[in-house]
A and B are shown apart, each in its own frame.
Chain A
Amino acid sequence: MPDNVLMRLKNVSKTYIMGEIKVEALKETSLEILAEEVLVILGPSGSGKSTLLNLVGGIDSSTTGEILYDEKVLTDGNDRVLTSFRRLDVGFIFQFYNLIPDLTCEENVALAAELVPEPLEVQDVLHDVGLHDRRDHFPSQLSGGEQQRVAIARAVVKRPRILLCDEPTGSLDYETGKMVLRLLVDIRNKYHSTVIIVTHNSAIGDMADRVVRMRSGEIVEIIENENPLPPERIEW
């Protein structure tokens, strides 16, 4: 196998059982995630994108299959392993920012920084996301785009090797959305992390190194993109 594989999903599936009904949110799927790539997962609503991302990020457990990270097995049901994986190696960004309302921007970022032995400087990261002068504001005092940038800073400060973004532009306007995407690419370039973006907006696929297309809980195709476009050049 190529030595730039960071994570490996082998025949992973997820079935939700709701009473009598079974929902196969993700059918048996295998996927390799490469170091330092920008991977965009595209697909219509309900196609299993978030399910896949949540499995990768270790906040959900698979029904079958195996997930390997750095050749370590994450899927043996050990909460300690998953917690430490999330703590040290993963940064999550959601559509609805999920900031702690009782903490200021700076404190939200510090909250994450306190978790790892060698975090980035909180102030530097706030500079990176362009919010240094608003560091004392509370989430309720910020716009959606600003809140999302705080969420990115919070994810990045831990120096994760993987940044997982579920619909990061979903509740942002066009301009703000593009700015956030730019930020994600900049971060990948600066800190050499892998960035996975889940979106139903196929235009975003143009900025990816690779695009995974999903439909009805299945990966239907994986496209390698020779020349990813810079985010400011893509349009929707």
Chain B
Amino acid sequence: MSTLTRKLFRTIVNTRGQFLALIVIVALGVMIYVSMNIVYSNLAQAQQQFYEENRFADYTFLVVKAPESVVSRIEAVPGVIKATGRLQKDVTIFKDNEERAVGRLTGYPLPVKDELNNIHLLSGRSFDDIASEEIGIIADPQYAEANAIKPGKKIEILADSRKVDITVIGTAISPEFVYPMKDSSSLFPEPELFGILMMPQKQVQQILGMPGQINQVLLDLAPDADEALIKSQVGAILKPYGNIADYPRKNQSSHVVLQAQLDGIKLISTSLPLIFFLIAAGIQFVILSRLIRSQRMSIGVMKALGYNNRQIIWNYTSYALLVSLLGALAGNALGLGMASAMTVLFAQYFNLPPAAMGINLQVVVISFLISSLVAGASGLLASRSVLQINPAEAMRPQPPAIGRRTPVEDWAWLWNRLSSSWKMSLRSMFRNRTRFSVTILGVMSAVVLLMFTFLMSDATNHFFDQSFEQVNHYDYIVRFSEPIKESELLYWNGWDEVQRTEKMMEIPVKAIFSNQTVDDVIVGLEPSSQLKKVSDKYGEIHRIPEEGILINSVTADKMGLAVGDVVTVETVMGMGAVRTAQLKVMDRFEPMTGAISYVSLETANRLLGERQLVTAAMLKLDAPVMPSLEKRLKEMSRVGSVVSFSQERAVYEKLMGTVWVSIGVMLMFAVILGIAIIYNTSVMTLNERQREMASLRVLGYSKGEVAGLIRKETWLQAVIGIVLGLPSGKAVATAYLASATTEMYSLPAVIYPRSYLMVAIVAFIFVWLGQNLSIRKAGKLDMVEVLKNRE
């Protein structure tokens, strides 16, 4: 080993704490980079492959009812490679525990493999293996798991007003059900209450009493096909059969959620590591600059002995390169482990086939490249100063550091009030501007991360608060399988447990304005409703107009609809004939989730050309959960579903578990980053000021007072970083939320005042910890040793 190398290792041993802290920062950056990128590439690849293998449709049309023969006509449209006609309908499932669930009964023309949106069998048998007289269904794995359904089990459904027993023969997934949701008003999958029931098309048609009929057409388009043109051509073919909706793949509800999740991972996989790398680079630069300054004499001697600049610069740069190498090694080890765990987790969260657990070698290589590049740059930049060291000069003792007046001194009233030790701290900070800025930026980033974390958690809490406390005040919501007369609800009020009932009407519609059509759901409520309020995402309550419509901004913005305009709405459901009405836009609100607009119950009835009908009822009871009443309700005819509000809430809260885990992980990262930064700054300050501290000790300052001096300096920088970090964090998180907003989901950037305090407290804790890791050194200070010689 060359002497120069040995000197490098000795330097590393002497600065081992800082060396380690730097490795930790780099390792965290690399870990996040590697894990997130690998998770992304695994999932994106799984998605891609899954879509391709199971021929996920490029475009989907929904109609009321059409003969199967229409499919071949559509296939003849230029640009359409393949069309699949399907029959799909939601049916009621009677569960063993007397509860009901909604099953999305979906028909598959056989052989399945030749058609679009086909299925990937996970367990059990496929359709081809069952006897023709047997009625067999394949369920989605989440419904099967949530309801403990194994192949061979019989379930009972209500189809075409008849109860039918069917046998579960297996479980399977499909690209369109990666994230199965009942409708746009649900935010999470509710596997206990909603499942996909896959069945051969012929059997579906038979069960539903619709032989030879379909209500969906799936399209596979040529890569260069003109989507708009095909949409209008196919739309024209289907027009006689009652167009309900049509959407390209990018608007398919399951795809939207999966893609949003992937985009989020992508964004974090690049931006978060960047912060860590930049901070590591900044600290490395500062540490090396200081090292070179303090080893000025040795560098002079080395030069005098004949070592050239290149050798010396390489020696110092190696320090940074070693940090990055070790950091990248540790980061990759952690990151690869985390990646496979996370891939499994995501693949389960979504109904994806077990994802290819690839180790993306490219990501690993890039992680090493980036970290060495960052280290090399900061190392070279810092050791540039080696060039300016003149051997003859360097070997003479160095004159005292140059003290300077600081801008603070212009405020004499303040300056004169400061103690000498404050003056010392301020001047030293202004003298070491780079270090000062790096520390402030570092603390700022850690605080930004904290703020980000807290804002996410607040936004989530706000969401719950809004949906569960502000908006909904009922205990149960009962949906009917068909509209019923208002008067039928009257006798419910006679029940002892019922404090209040309110009526509700839910109507899926197409909103039409200036040649554009958008799917929307209209909910009719009594304007005086107490059990359900309409709140925008900021928590402001909007009144339901007696006449006209309160429109949601998602729908309004798609069509350029403003308050005062008149929108045409067309009913789509099988609720009698399709009817059209004109509604004046009275108000508009920004919803947190879903695209739901509100009208008065009376307006809703007029829309259907009916009077005093309801499709659902909300109940306020003596207690939030009343099983006996629930049972009574479920046994009533025409009751489709009975949902307890508090049970619904429990389901949501359970699902939010993963959110809390990721929030916890982020919090940990921020704290580790903060500790590492503070530790480094504090150690550097300590090293640099040993002589001053010894002088102060000789003068009679106590250990505590001297340590307090270093603390004060670090605190000053930390507090500035924290103060700047709070608003920056809010800005970053707000921007993130804005970019993560989708049509179905828009969290407002809400942060509770308490969270500012919490972030500040967490920041104070990491500053305190980082300092106490380093400040122990101050107690061991040997006055005689330090003051003996000049350098």
On A, residues with C-beta under 8 Å from B are 50, 54, 57, 59-60, 79-80, 83-84, 86-88, 90, 92, 94, 96, 98-104, 107-108, 110-112, 114-116, 138-140, 147, 154, 158
Contact = CB atoms under 8 A, between A and B. Distances in A.
Interface in B387-427: 397, 399-404, 419-421, 423-424, 427
B691 interface: yes
A78 B790 CA distance: 29
A104 B403 contact: yes
Contacts of A101: 400-403, 692
Closest 9 CB pairs of A and B: A87-B700, A138-B403, A102-B427, A111-B420, A101-B401, A86-B700, A101-B400, A98-B695, A59-B783
A103 B420 contact: yes
A57 B400 contact: no
Contacts of B701: 83, 87, 115
A139 B404 CA distance: 10
Interface in B688-744: 691-692, 694-703
B661 interface: no
Contacts of A84: 700
Interface size class of B (residues with CB under 8 A): 20 to 34
A59 to B, nearest CB: 5
A60 B701 CA distance: 15
B404 A115 contact: no
B784 interface: yes
B634 interface: no
A94 B784 CA distance: 11
Given A87-B699, A100-B695, A114 B420 contact: yes
B784 A158 contact: no
A183 B431 CA distance: 33
B699 A86 contact: yes
Given A98-B787, A138-B403, 17 more contacts: A83-B697, A83-B700, A83-B703, A87-B699, A98-B698, A99-B695, A100-B403, A100-B424, A100-B695, A101-B402, A102-B403, A102-B424, A102-B428, A103-B423, A108-B420, A111-B420, A111-B696
A107 B402 CA distance: 15
Contacts of A108: 420
Contact of A111 (B421, B694, B789): B421
A223 to B, nearest CB: 27
Nearest to A171: B397
A41 B423 CA distance: 37
B699 to A, nearest CB: 5
B403 A140 contact: yes
Interface in B51-98: none
Which of the listed residues A59, A101, A102 has the most CB atoms from chain B within 10 Å of its own CB? A102
B426 to A, nearest CB: 8
Contact of B400 (A86, A104, A140): A140
A116 B699 CA distance: 10
A94 to B, nearest CB: 6
A162 B789 CA distance: 23
Nearest to B790: A96
B698 A92 contact: yes
Dominant SS among interface residues on chain B: helix
Contact of B700 (A103, A110, A138, A158): A158
Contacts of A114: 419-420
Contacts of B696: 100, 111
Contacts of B420: 103, 107-108, 110-111, 114
A103 B399 CA distance: 15
Contacts of A57: 698
A84 B697 CA distance: 10
A233 B517 CA distance: 109
Given A103-B420, A103-B427, A114-B420, A59 B402 contact: no
B416 to A, nearest CB: 11
A54 B427 contact: no
Contacts of B694: 98
Nearest to A100: B692
Contacts of A116: 700
B281 to A, nearest CB: 28
A57 B699 CA distance: 10
B400 A139 contact: yes
Nearest to B429: A102
Interface in B97-111: none
A103 B790 CA distance: 19
Contacts of A138: 402-404
A107 B700 contact: no
B617 to A, nearest CB: 76
Nearest to B700: A87
B783 A60 contact: yes
Contact of A80 (B399, B400, B424, B702): B702
A92 B699 contact: yes
Nearest to A104: B403
Contacts of B789: 96
17 contacts: A50-B784, A59-B698, A60-B783, A86-B698, A98-B787, A101-B402, A102-B424, A102-B427, A103-B424, A108-B420, A111-B424, A112-B700, A114-B420, A115-B701, A138-B403, A140-B400, A140-B401
Contacts of A111: 420-421, 424, 696, 699
B313 to A, nearest CB: 28
A140 B787 contact: no
A98 B690 CA distance: 11
Contacts of A107: 420, 423
A90 B699 CA distance: 8
Contact of B702 (A54, A83, A94): A83
Contacts of A154: 699
Contacts of A140: 399-403
A84 B704 CA distance: 13
A92 to B, nearest CB: 5
Scoring B401, B419, B420 by chain A CB atoms within 10 A of each residue's CB, the highest score goes to B420
A229 B692 CA distance: 36
